[in-house]
Structures are given as C-alpha cells and as structure tokens.
Amino acid sequence: MNILGINAYHGDASACLVQNGQLVAVVEEERFTRIKHWAGFPAQSIRYCLQVAGISAADLDHVAVSFNPKANLNRKLLFTLQQRPSVSSLLDRFSKQSKSASLKEQLAEACYCQPEDISAPIHTLEHHTTHLASTFFVSPFEKAAILSIDGMGDFVSTLSGAGEGNRLEYFSRTYYPHSIGYLYNAITLYLGFPAYGDEYKVMGLAPYGEPEYLEAFRRIIYPKGDSFELNLDYFTHHEQGIAMKWDNGAPSVAPFHSPELEKLFGPARQPKLELTSKHQNIAASLQAVTEEIIFHLINRLSDRYKSENLCLAGGVAMNSVANGKITQNTPFQNVYIPVGAADNGTCIGAAFFVWNQMLKQPRNFVLNHAYWGSEFTDEECLLALQSHDLQPKHLEREALLHQVVDFLCEGKVVGWFQGRMEFAARALGNRSLLADPRRVDMRDIINLKIKFREKFRPFAPSILEEKVGEYFELDEPAPFMEKVFKIRPEKRELIPAVTHVDGTGRLQTVSRQTNPLYWDLINTFAQRTGIPIVLNTSLNENEPIVRTPTEAIQCFLRTNMDALVLGSYYVERSDIKS
C-alpha cells in the first residue's frame, strides 16, 4: 500500500511516501529549489519520494493533500456576508480552490506520466486534521490529547481533540480571523523582520527584554471560553485579507497591523534600523502573552480530556520556549511534538490520516528521528570534492572522529555532512556546522565567519540524551530541538556558546539508536573535554540547509568554515588551492 502525502500551495511545500504504514521518505521542496520556505506544487519532492520507494505514480494507491477548500464552507459564507472582505482577498482564496481542481494533472506532470496513468484517488483533507494526524498517529502514545495551533488553514487557526488508537476525535475549532499565529506574525513584521518565517527571531530576541507591555498585549488577545479572541481593532486582515505573495515560489507577507497598534506602541521599526530596548520589551511581552494563551488552551483541553500525554502541532508549536514550559504549567507530563510541526509536516499527517483514520489500519510506526532525506555515497562525495579541485583525506571512523574533535578543541568550525538529510527546519547532526560550546567567543566567530546573522540569535547544544539531567533543569527528551530548557546554573559558565542570555538552551538530545555516528562524535568530544555537548547550527549560509555534497562544498568555499567532512572525507581550508 503506497500513500503519497503532499503539502502544496503553501509555505514549506513538501511531500512524503508511506508504505504499508511506514514512512520511507519526506522532504521539503526548498531543498531542491534553494529558495527558503518555497511554496507551490512540490514536484521534485514527489519525484524523490517515489524514487526512494522504488515505485512510479502508477503504483500509488492513495494521494492525500493537506488542504480542502470546501472545509468549513458555512463559516466562510457567514464571514463573507457579515464582514464583506475585500474582493482581492476573495480572489486569493478562489485561486487556491481552482489549483486544487487540477491536482491530478500537476501530479502527472511532476511524475512524467499522463493523468490517466494515475488510478489513486486524491483526498483533499482539512488542514488542521492533518496537523493532528501528523503528531498523534506517529507519536509513541496509544491515547493522548491533541492540539494544533497555527496561523490559518482552511479558515481555522486552532483545533483541539484527542486520539485513541487509530482514531481522532475533534473538540473545538477557533475560526478566522482569530489566530495566535497571526498575532505573532503581525508583531514580527511590526518589529522589522519581514521575511516569511521570521517569528523565531522575535522568540530569540525576547529574553533580552522585559514584559513591559504585557497588559497592553492582554488587551490585544485574551482567553475566551476554551479558546481566545483577538481585538480586531489592532489588525486589518479581517477586512482586507493578508497580502501574501509567492513570487518565484518565495512566500512573503505584507504588514497587517492597523494604525491603532502604532498608537499603542509607536511607529513600526524599519528593517536594518537599530533594535532598541523598547523593541526587546515588545518581543518579551509578545512571548509572555503567547505563552499565557497556549497554556490556557492546553489547560482547558486537559479539563476536557484527562491524560498525561499531549501531542502538539501547527506553526505555533514551533515556539520552543513555550514548549519547554508545558510540563511545569499544565497537568500533562509527556509532550510529543513531531519534526516538521509546522505546515511542512502536514504531508506526513495527510498520509497517515488516510492510512490510520480512513483505512482503519493499526498504528505501527513512531516518528523518532528526522533523517528521511537525500543521501550520497562516499564515492559521490569524493567526485564532488575532486570536481572543485579539492584533495581530501579519507579517514576511517575512529580517526575521523578524533580528527574532528582535535579541530573543535582548537576553536575551529567544522561542516559535518553525513547520511540522510534531516527533514524540517533544524539541522540535527547530518547537515550541521559544529563548534566547541566552551568558548565564550564562539557565537561571534561563527557569525563573522559563516552565518552573518543577528547577534542576539542563540546557537543550539546537541547533548547525549543520557546526560540531559546533568546539564538541564528538566530531564526530558528533545530530539528535534523542539524545546528550550533552563541550563543548570552551575553548568552555564562551562558552555557559554550555547547558553542564551536568560540561561536557557534550545537543546537537541542525541540518541545512540537513531544517529550512532553523531552520538559517537559527541561522546568522543566528551571523553576529551568532560563536556557531552557540541554547538550545532545548520550547514548553510542564508539559504535552505544544504542537500548535496556540491552545495556543502560551495558553502565551505564561499565562507570561512575551517574544515568540511563529507562522509569519510575530510578537507581543511588550508587544502584549498589558491
């Protein structure tokens, strides 16, 4: 049984392939197009998934897409009659509906076949049901409460429910125009971060400020029953829609706050201008009110469905700071947030919704690692290096580990390219830049040499999962960098490069079972230094994470990275011929 899952015509377009209830491949289109958050139809991702599975489009039994223009139609009609939104916003929605009508033709074109060659039915599924499926059906829990919190999908921003076995139950929906994701997006744009997906920058900025404006934000968003409401006086999207463009596949969003917001907080910051303490305090206040609303939703869900287990998904579930506080602020003790909790992961949810909910198949898969993308042989790595006139060393496993640790201990930055590429936003040890977390100056070194990014943004610690409790105040797994925890006070000065200004770290717990090579590298570093942690950031430079050996080499050559490891091959900057 072959099920193709697709997230299309939305940011982070992606595709996955599920065979007999097992995920075999999942990838985002941005990794092929090299345009961050690429939106459109994920043709190259689909071809990759079929190739990994060894099948053609004719072999597909089901195709599942994570949007349904007909979902919540009554609500859409009622809103249109009451609010009379602008003609342009209605045309945007109609455009997406018309694209869904030609899915079979686009799938055939992507797979180099005729539409009549594809016999699989195409299921268009409500967006948030695929979010729920993307977290519960691949979780380790037999029963769990489930919450999806997003910007907006199919006219819904939030959906609560529960899962038992292979069945989802839905409790309550929060409809357009009310959305936590929209609030965070609007303030991100107001603070002068214009790129699609820049909300994580505001989350990184927040610890530098104080929640001076929390009471003001409580007038902008507030709990209501099991959900919440926005004070629409501060926004324009309910009247004018949101001006979202997908030029060349790159998504962009225009500001949608009203003049009332600028009366409250002052003029919007222009990109590139100085970030002041006021901007930091606005970010801190936004983060604080976001956490209040998230915990309200989770606690009301707990009242509705008693369980120790919670599954989270949706773009707001990428708020790793809030995620790290859930077990301290709600009754839930076990929290599962999948890799690709945002819209990229809805392709997985769509496929498993068909397999488990529609076909009533038992669950037999747990998503416990992120390594589902492209991989390359040592021979392919060597050919790529030689084509760039590089003559690397070939090292056996132990020698390679010790060589990399030697270089890290010298304060060098090493590109680490191994195995199958990670899915979703985080580099998790297969397409990573690694450095020594003990160096106070390492953040500045990486920013100056390679990343050229804002100084306030933290770098992540990858830690052996067995050692989490020794370094962090909470001893919980975080395999996907999906949670931020407080670092123990006595450990902070030991790992300053991965300790944020508020004493926290967005950790990745590394398992010997799911990534033995990366675990061995960190363990080798620990044996040498006594610290079971390396600094880990993504192997890229203002672009999507690298996919191929050639992309990794090009990143190495155009930055000041000190060394690059491709599989078993090791090359230093000094090896570059001038």
Same domain, 353 and 481: no
Residues 6 or more apart from 543 whose CB is under 8 A from it?
34, 36, 555
**Is 413 part of any domain?**
yes
Same domain, 116 and 74: yes
296, 329, 358: which is the final residue of a domain?
A: 358
129 in Cβ contact with 168 (< 8 Å):
yes
Distance (Å, whole) CA 509 – CA 476: 9
**Residue 373 burial (CB count, 10 A):** 23
In a domain, 107, yes or no: yes
pLDDT digit of tens for each residue in the chain (578 aa)? 999 999 999 899 999 999 999 999 999 999 999 999 999 999 999 999 999 999 999 999 999 999 998 888 788 777 777 776 665 554 555 455 556 558 999 999 999 999 999 999 999 999 999 999 999 999 999 999 999 999 999 999 999 999 999 999 999 999 999 999 999 999 999 999 999 999 999 999 999 999 999 999 999 999 999 999 999 999 999 999 888 887 778 889 999 999 999 999 999 999 999 999 999 999 999 999 999 999 999 999 999 999 999 999 999 999 999 999 999 999 999 999 999 999 999 999 999 999 999 999 999 999 999 999 999 999 999 999 999 999 999 999 999 999 999 999 999 999 999 999 999 999 999 999 999 999 999 998 998 888 888 889 999 999 999 999 999 999 999 999 999 999 999 999 999 999 999 999 999 999 999 999 999 999 999 999 999 999 999 999 999 999 999 999 999 999 999 999 999 999 999 988 86
Same domain, 450 and 571: yes
pLDDT at 449: 82
**CA 211 → CA 216, 284, 286, distances in Å?**
10, 5, 8
Does the residue 198 lie in any domain? no
Domain extent, residue 10, equals 2-129+347-358
Same domain, residue pair 388 and 352: no
Q: What is the CA radius of gyration of the chain?
A: 23
Dihedral Cα 498, 500, 503, 508, nearest 10 deg: -50
| 8 A C-beta contact, residue 9 and residue 66 | no
How many whole angstroms separate alpha carbon 28 and alpha carbon 359? 26
Contact 144, 311 (CB under 8 A): yes
Q: Which of 17, 12, 41 is nearest to 28 (CA)?
A: 12
DSSP structure string for 436-467: -TT-TTHHHHHIIIII---TT---EEEEEGGG
Q: Is residue 17 part of a domain?
A: yes
Note whether 496 and 504 are within 8 A (CB).
no
pLDDT value at position 451? Answer: 81
| Residue 91 located in a structural domain | yes
Last residue of a domain, one of 298, 328, 358: 358
In whole angstroms, give the CA distance from residue 154 to residue 176. 9
- Residues 106 and 12 occupy one common structural domain: yes
Classify residue 398 by burial, with Cβ atoms within 10 Å: 0-12, 13-18, 19+.
exposed
CB 563 within 8 A of CB 414: yes
Per the CB < 8 A criterion, the answer to whether 142 and 163 are in contact is no
- One domain, residues 352 and 465: no
Give the count of domains, the chain: 2
Determine the Cα angle at 391 with ends 385 and 397, to 5°: 85
pTM of the entire structure?
0.96
The domain boundary residue, chosen from 325, 358, 391? 358
As given in the structure block, the two tokens for residue 331 are 């009754």
∠60-66-68 over CA atoms, to 5°? 110
**Length of the chain counted residue by residue:** 578
What burial class does residue 441 get, using C-beta atoms within 10 Å of its C-beta: 0-12 exposed, 13-18 middle, 19+ buried?
Answer: exposed
- In a domain, residue 84? The reply is yes
CATH of the domain at 408: 3.90.870.20
What is residue 10's predicted lDDT score, i.e. its pLDDT? 87
Whether 42 and 102 map to the same domain: the answer is yes
CATH number where 351 lies? 3.30.420.40
**Same domain membership, residue 383 and residue 351:** no
Comparing C-alpha atoms, which of 184, 481, 145, 163 is closest to residue 297?
145
386 and 352 both lie in a single domain = no
> How does strand 533-538 pair with strand 431-435?
antiparallel
Instruction: Give the H or E element holding residue 5.
Output: strand 2-7
Could you tell me which of 387, 407, 385 has the C-alpha nearest to residue 568? 385
- Strands 460-464 and 504-510, bridge-based pairing: parallel
Does the residue 75 lie in any domain?
yes
SS3 398: helix
pLDDT at 47: 98
Q: Are residues 408 and 354 in the same domain?
A: no
Q: Note whether 455 and 352 are same-domain residues.
A: no
Output the CA torsion 147→150→154→155 (10° steps): 100
Q: Which pLDDT does position 333 carry in this prediction? A: 98
User: How many whole angstroms separate alpha carbon 85 and alpha carbon 42?
Assistant: 30
Is residue 302 in a domain?
no
Regarding whether 532 and 568 lie in a shared domain, the answer is yes
The β-bridge relationship of strands 2-7 and 227-230 is: unpaired
